[in-house]
Amino acid sequence: VNLAIVAGFLGSGKTTLILSIAGQLSAAGSKVAIVENEVGEIGIDGALIRCAGLTVRELSNGCICCQLSADLVPTLEALAAEFSPHWVIIEPSGIAEPKRMLAVLPYYHGPPLTMVRVLTLVDPTRIPELFEVLTPLVTAQVRAAELVVINKIDLASGEQLAAARALVRQVNPKARLVEVCARRGVEMDLFNLERAR
């Protein structure tokens, strides 16, 4: 089982990106399952993912990195047993810290996780404001990523994109950086995910 955690602050475009990635992985013959986490009582993103015909397990009404962290491992084990996916994509809530999710994975006892990737999405139109108001959270999300995806490039000005790049580089100089408009679809090559199958 390959595992991708698609993190990022609220409204950064995680669900849109996941729909694009999962659709392409499925079209290439991979079995893809999605774990959808929402802080709200109703799984709005889960409903959309089901409309796209994808397999989804929802963890709602709390954050997967804190209140619901005990549910993550059993959910992954149940998915692996029932569905035998090649890929599990986790969409944590926008207030989750990926490092806390990684910390519970050693307790997972399902089929081996052959690869674990952390992607963090960044909205360049909002990131300076987010860093100002929610410094610890946004820093933790960017710092945990091996790949930072600057999304919504169609909505951002040149200055906003340059500022987002600089902030990301400052927080996580080692991460690979890509820029996309997830709404228009993304190319799998950008993420090197299809090679992992």
Partner 1 sequence: VSMPALNPFTGHYLVHYTRPTAAEENRRMLAELLERIATGCAAADTALIGHIKAFAAQPGGGYLTASVTSARVPAQVEAGGHQPQDRLEVCLTVLAYGLERERLEQIVAEAWQDLAGEGLMLSVRRLPATQFSQAPEERFT
Residue 176: phi and psi, rounded to 5, are -75, 145
CB-nearer residue toward partner 1: 10 or 81: 10
CB-nearer residue toward partner 1: 80 or 130: 130
Contacts to partner 1 by CB under 8 A? 9-11, 38-45, 47-48, 51, 94-95, 123, 125-126, 129-130, 133-137, 155, 183
CB of 61 to partner 1, least distance (A): 8
CB-nearer residue toward partner 1: 69 or 73: 69
CB of 12 to partner 1, least distance (A): 9
CB-nearer residue toward partner 1: 10 or 162: 10
CB-nearer residue toward partner 1: 88 or 156: 156
CB of 24 to partner 1, least distance (A): 18
CB of 116 to partner 1, least distance (A): 26
What are the C-alpha distances in Å from 52 to residues 23, 49, 166?
Answer: 8, 5, 35
CB of 20 to partner 1, least distance (A): 13
